Structure 1
């Protein structure tokens, strides 16, 4: 049992690293490829890669379950569309990663608004800490906030909504089955947007194909597979604590690959956000 738990923790740690790689790969891909094309191709291919592992379970789903998964997948698609737009106009990925990590703090508030599930006491304690972190992270020259940061925050709110809805949908559906269907829906929404906006022409090259493959296979299919297997054998509190490492890896990679320079105030802001998440996850059940 301990071996399975240790393996699960390792899988989750690798999943956070691959998620951070996805930030860098996505930024490098959308420099040469329109975001709509990137989303459609990335998530359709990723869902097809996962399909052999769960196609029997998908075919066994009832129509009502498939409809629910598709609905939740559309919410995820909206979050990812906004996220890609934010990456496109942002010059600092690490800020976006820290802002996106707030989804776990926002989720209880959304659950309260939609389903009257009142947040626990630890939520109200950690919310002001998270707000302080956001202020340190975003406000450097007066009270002016960069547009990309608003989009990252909006994407984080949509991701929180996805968390809340996904928890209700996953009652009798295996996580990998749910992920496969939802990734497919993200790709289909991307295709619909492509049909409406008619994205600009672009040229394929070795650099673009390499980072697209990294984003699709490594940072999406393999990452979600590792994350699903890891979460199956690790307590949810432990899994959540491991998953908040993602913005730290993103910061390290963005400084290494994109030569991003992060001011000390923003580093402190990111640290405060991680502290609020740590306190919330560690003590909310107690």
Structure 2
């Protein structure tokens, strides 16, 4: 039997993760378009409920083997996910600039080691404390661009970033008991159920949905949720979490580029400087793994 090429899996993982970042970036576009015809919580609830149901088909055998404790832990993380993604979709709804919002949302990656320190006593790497001030200066420049104030969409994205940092920390603990695919499917279904139920009393539901809205919803479910999470789970199994995080940072860059093409978004000088500093902070925070990535290439 021929032996496997040791470079094949890392390269395959890198290419798959690159595709994941592109799918995630298109998800911002799909979501913004769908929100023109659906209220935010109903949209994200429906999207995640359908995507979670599809992933559950692939995870059926694994789901049957989970204990009641595993289900409770996965559902609990799903509640954290519900809060984070509801803030995210409200941020997208109120955002006047998707590219800027994507960079603000990426602050969640920087906050992961800080939250781990506060919640679990983990010691963050030195690069985290160097990266945070750089990111804060970047965010300050974005707020200055709005005239010395932070817009509602920016506040919501910062809050979503905090929520996602909590989610990543919780997931990193639970995934030691529950494998990634069934864990993801349970979380998406929980998010879908929770936010759809919350939407029912607080949002006006449309009497009907246009064909365009249904198309954007379908694209969000199939490409930006189901396919994205399926590929991400598979690719992360072929590489290390830190290495994957380096490539996943590109989501904000792709989002800004696609939004510039699709919506004709442009960035003022302060926005460009702010986003650049936030991305620089992400690189500083992951410098050890960025350096390893280039050394390997």
- TM class, shorter-chain normalised? over 0.9
Structure 2 unpaired stretches of 5+: 1-5, 292-297
With 199-208 and 59-68 compared, the bigger mean Cα shift is at 199-208
The SS at the match of 1:127 is helix
Q: Distance in 2 between matches of 1:204 and 1:143?
A: 39
8 Å CA contact 2:243, 2:289 repeated in 1: no
Match of 2:248 in 1: 243
Distance 1:111 1:122 in 2: 15
Would the aligned equivalents of 1:12 and 1:242 in 2 still touch at CA under 8 Å? yes
Q: Which residue of 1 aligns with 2:128?
A: 123
CA offset at residue 253 of structure 1? Answer: 1.0
Query: Which ranges of structure 1 fall in alignment gaps of 5 or more residues?
Result: none
Distance 1:274 1:198, change over 3 A: closer
Segment drifting more, 236-245 vs 153-162: 236-245
Deviations 1:112-155 (A, max 9, x none): 22222232222111111111111122222542111110110001
Deviates more, 1:276-285 or 1:126-135: 276-285
Pairing partner for 1:91 from 88, 96, 104: 96
Residue 24 to residue 190, structure 1, CA distance change in 2 (3 Å): same
Q: 2:63 aligns with which of 54, 58, 70?
A: 58
- Which residue number in structure 2 is paired with residue 273 of structure 1? 278
Match of 1:132 in 2: 137
> In 1, Cα distance between the equivalents of 2:14 and 2:289?
21
Coordinate RMSD, CA, aligned: 1.6
What corresponds to 2:230 in structure 1?
225
Structure 1 residue 159 and structure 2 residue 164: aligned? yes
| Deviation (angstroms), 1:200 | 3.2
1:157-203: per-residue Cα shift (whole Å, max 9, x none)? 00100011111111122111111110011001112202332523243
Aligned mates of 1:120, 1:212 — CA distance in 2: 40
Runs of 4+ residues over 4 Å off in structure 1: none
2:295 counterpart residue number: none
**How many pairs align?**
286
Give TM-score scaled by structure 2 length: 0.92
Corresponding position of 1:68? 73
Distance change >3 Å, CA 250–CA 141, structure 1 → 2 = closer
Residue 182 of structure 1 corresponds to: 187
Distance (whole Å) between structure 2 residues aligned to residue 149 and residue 111 of structure 1: 24
Report the counterpart of residue 33 of structure 1 in structure 2. Answer: 38
CA displacement 1:1-58 (0-9 Å, x = unmatched):
3112211111100000000000000000011111122122111110111112111111
Q: 2:112 maps to what in 1?
A: 107
Higher deviation after alignment, 237-246 or 109-118? 109-118
Q: Is the 8 A contact 2:28 2:255 kept in 1?
A: yes
Contact 1:82–1:151 (Cα < 8 Å) also in 2: yes
| Pair 1:122–1:284, CA change in 2 (3 A) | farther
